[in-house]
Amino acid sequence: MTDPTMRFTRRDFARFSLAASAAMLGGSRTLRAAPPSGEPIRIGVLHSLSGTMAISETTLKDVILMLVELQNRKGGVLGRPLEAVVVDPASNWPLFAEKARQLLAVDKVSAAFGCWTSVSRKAVLPVFEELDGILFYPVQYEGQECSRNVFYMGAAPNQQAIPAVDYLLSEDGGGAKRFALVGTDYVYPRTTNQILQSYLKQKGIGDADVMVNYTPFGQSDWQTIVSQIKAFGSAGRKTAVVSTINGDANVPFYKELAAQGISATDIPVMAFSVGEEELAGMDTKPLVGQLAAWNYFESIDTPANQAFIREWHGFTKNPKRTTNDPMEAHYIGFNLWVQAVTKAGTTDHDKVIETMVGLKQPNLTGGVAEVLPNHHITKPVYIGEIQEDGQFNVVWQTPREIPGQAWSPFVPETRNLIGDWRAPIRCGNYDTVKKACLGTRHV
């Protein structure tokens, strides 16, 4: 079988073009630095380009290639060119671990940007910890993890799931009294729903008013499940769906909702994994008014976001290509890594990790992301309604950025835990009551 590994260097740049722009992505004027030279600094791109998750992950590979090209136009990093090493784990979780080992042990990448599902992140985590690599993870996840070798650029539950449920419970969100928690059967939906069930109970929602359902990756037949949701919502109490369905299974799920006449006014669906990229492949007319919770929407009108969209359209040569939340997470993570390497004066993994905490990077929506001691970042939260054109109209947002929590205070076993990779704690699961590290302390 052909090895799907690809390398993108300066020699490949002629294959791509960027729209002429007087502004760089941060909003300031482009600085033309001396061309980078010397041994390239390699970074890994660990995203599925085939299989059920390719619908979501291929775009994330593309945005890293764009960011690499832009950085090389600005002189590279430490005066050296960047080289992206792209692999295809093909939506195969064991293959993610194999490709991660290849990137770190064979290709000697300085950092890797990748994974979407938590099962893929869990698969590569032991590899990054064993080989002391650095992974920038760009997607919302279930929390309950804090690794020294991972920087979590996506939302923790308190930066997406909890605010989304608060909105659905509120008068503005319809005042839901019953919840159908519907997800793909793997760690992210199960752990997120464990947190949400505990949280809903604290909010007075009883067990009888919570329906939970899981389906395999790539689920195509939703008739029975949607019928169950419809019956669950017919009890005379306002019902909402919280969807942690991932990948291409979203397309037939929303089609079945429309086929059974379920609209946003009947039973609103709050999605955590449906963004502009996924909507681009759907008939959005029946979905108008359905909801999603993210930390970024393409429709947010800021100078930085408009510049980013222009660069993206120029790079892809396609003015219809959308942007989305995980793309912004990669934008933030990539620029934070560039900052850290520049500040440390080296690509040495340990020194870069030590340098990351406290760094700040403007996001695309007008705020600032700061790297916290638990390797999460600060993020705003937005609730958006799906529009007919496949974009989102923001109907609610937090007044400020929210610091990401590695461990949920709504789960009894983790309510006292924090992650803090600074001295003297240097621990990802530090018990603030016992004053002890429950895992491995980094010396």
Q: pLDDT tens-digit profile of 114-137?
A: 999 999 999 999 999 999 999 999
What CATH class does 158-299+383-403 carry? alpha beta
- Residue 186 contacts residue 245 (beta carbons within 8 Å): no
Angstrom distance (rounded) from CA 85 to CA 65: 10
Q: How many CB atoms lie within 10 A of CB 215?
A: 18
Token pair 């295809």 is found at 88
DSSP string, 97-120: HHHHHIIIIIS--SEEEE--SHHH
Q: What is the pLDDT of residue 283?
A: 86
Walking along the chain (443 residues) 10 residues at a time, the average pLDDT comes out as 38 34 40 79 98 94 98 97 98 97 98 96 98 97 96 97 97 95 95 96 96 95 96 93 92 93 94 89 88 97 98 96 96 98 98 98 98 98 96 96 97 96 96 93 71
* Backbone torsion region of residue 289, taken as left when φ is above 0, otherwise alpha when ψ lies between -120 and 50, otherwise beta: left
Here the tokens at position 51 are: 């299989």
Q: What is the pTM of this model?
A: 0.89
Q: How many CB atoms lie within 10 A of CB 40?
A: 20
Q: What is the pLDDT of residue 17?
A: 32
Domain-wise residue ranges, the chain:
6-156+300-380, 158-299+383-403, 412-443
Angstrom distance (rounded) from CA 356 to CA 367: 18
The reply to whether 158-299+383-403 shares the fold of 6-156+300-380 is: yes
Q: What is the pLDDT of residue 32?
A: 58
The 10s digit of each residue's pLDDT in 372-405 is: 999 999 999 999 999 999 999 999 999 999 999 9
Distances (CA, A) of 122 to 53, 167, 297: 16, 30, 27
Q: What is the pLDDT of residue 227?
A: 97
Spatial neighbors of 163 by CB under 8 A, at least 6 apart, are 293, 381, 383, 398, 402
- Residue 42 contacts residue 107 (beta carbons within 8 Å): yes
**On the CB side of 333, how many CA atoms lie within 13 Å of its CA?**
30
- What CATH number does the domain located at 6-156+300-380 have? 3.40.50.2300
